């Protein structure tokens, strides 16, 4: 198995309290992987540790068997929409073109090829007509599409997205899912933090099931078992007799609200 992401004995603490504890797993190349678990389980912290935005207390992350600094330009990160200052004075096109700057050459001039790539990325998320609009004037779903377009313009091999489906309408959710599938078909790897158990089994190939500790990791059919979901979600699932069947057949949703 070719590995896109590996964490080894990863522990992250805030104020000496572990948010992630001894996390150890591998994610294969070319899959759409969902990181799921209840609120406070460390999902966003895991992404921040992978991207070097928080410092682990112990352990490490490897991307394509290398440190982040060696492969940073192959990695694209889409943070939670609520963590972004949307009053920043920039147009949609400006934001997407940011994906064309490389850390090794921050002062390069944007050329026509870069603009063509940005246009193509905006077309893929159905936002080209808004290219001159200020980012602050867009709806939440439109802003999310623009950030995904910026990620596409980067031309990465691994896309790491923190809750891209939160606060978007059904059409945007479907458009994002179609994009992720297209990226997978091109050999890209996608890792997504996600809250909705009802859709997780349909959206993802692999699952990382998390609740401060790693509960389980693997192909979705191996993970969507009552005992594993019960271990991760505890009392939230006590009312279910056959969790997998109810989620799949009756549309039961355990969507974590913030």
The CATH number of the domain holding residue 25 is: 3.40.50.300
Lowest average pLDDT, out of 79-88, 113-122, 154-163, goes to 79-88
Q: 171 in a domain, yes or no? A: yes
Helices (H), 125-255: 140-154, 170-185, 197-203, 220-223, 226-233, 243-250
32 has a pLDDT exceeding 80: yes
Q: Which two tokens stand for residue 181?
A: 């599938």
Per-residue model confidence (pLDDT) at position 195: 86
Q: 120 in a domain, yes or no? A: no
Pairwise pLDDT comparison (251 vs 192), residue with the higher score: 192
Per-residue model confidence (pLDDT) at position 239: 41
Per-residue model confidence (pLDDT) at position 140: 84
The dihedrals phi and psi of 240, each to the nearest 5 degrees, come to: -95, 135
Binned at pLDDT 50, 70 and 90, residue 258 comes out as: very low
Q: 92 in a domain, yes or no? A: no
Question: How many Å apart are CA 57 and CA 177, to the nearest integer?
Answer: 34
Spatial contact of 230 and 214, defined as CB atoms under 8 Å apart: no
Spatial contact of 253 and 196, defined as CB atoms under 8 Å apart: yes
Binned at pLDDT 50, 70 and 90, residue 107 comes out as: low
Lowest average pLDDT, out of 23-37, 38-52, 126-140, 239-253, goes to 239-253
Per-residue model confidence (pLDDT) at position 42: 94
Per-residue model confidence (pLDDT) at position 129: 96
The mean pLDDT of 11-19, rounded to a whole number, is 90
The mean pLDDT of 184-203, rounded to a whole number, is 92
The structure's pTM equals 0.86
Q: 142 in a domain, yes or no? A: no
Residue 184: CB partners within 8 Å, gap ≥ 6? 30, 31, 32, 190, 205
Q: Name the average pLDDT for the chain.
A: 87
The mean pLDDT of 76-102, rounded to a whole number, is 85
Measured between its terminal Cα atoms, the distance across the chain in Å is 36
Q: 231 in a domain, yes or no? A: yes
Q: 146 in a domain, yes or no? A: no
Query: Which domain range does residue 26 map to?
Result: 3-86+156-250
Domains held by the chain: number: 1
Q: 130 in a domain, yes or no? A: no
Q: 80 in a domain, yes or no? A: yes
């Amino acid at each position: 198995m070719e590995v896109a992401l590996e964490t080894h004995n990863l522990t992250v603490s805030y104020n000496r309290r572990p948010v992630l504890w001894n996390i150890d797993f591998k994610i294969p190349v070319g899959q759409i992987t969902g990181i799921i678990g209840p609120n406070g389980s460390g999902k966003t912290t895991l992404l921040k540790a992978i991207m070097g935005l928080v410092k682990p207390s112990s352990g490490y992350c490897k991307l394509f068997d290398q440190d982040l600094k060696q492969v940073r330009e192959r990695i694209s990160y889409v943070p939670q929409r609520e963590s972004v200052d949307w009053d920043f004075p920039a147009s949609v096109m400006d934001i997407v073109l940011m994906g064309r700057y490389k850390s090794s050459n921050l002062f390069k001039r944007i050329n026509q090829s870069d603009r063509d790539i940005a246009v193509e990325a905006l077309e893929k998320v159905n936002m080209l007509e808004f290219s001159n609009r200020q980012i602050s004037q867009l709806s939440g779903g439109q802003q999310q599409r623009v950030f995904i377009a910026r990620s596409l313009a980067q031309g990465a091999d691994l896309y790491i997205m923190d809750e891209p489906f939160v606060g978007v309408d059904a059409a945007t959710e479907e458009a994002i899912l179609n994009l992720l599938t297209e990226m997978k078909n091109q050999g890209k790897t996608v890792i997504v933090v996600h809250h909705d158990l009802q859709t997780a089994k349909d959206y993802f190939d692999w699952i990382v099931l998390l609740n401060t500790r790693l509960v389980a990791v693997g192909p979705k059919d191996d993970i969507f078992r009552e005992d594993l979901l019960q271990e991760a979600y505890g009392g939230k699932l006590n009312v279910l007799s056959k969790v997998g069947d109810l989620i799949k057949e009756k549309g039961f949703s355990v969507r974590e609200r913030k």
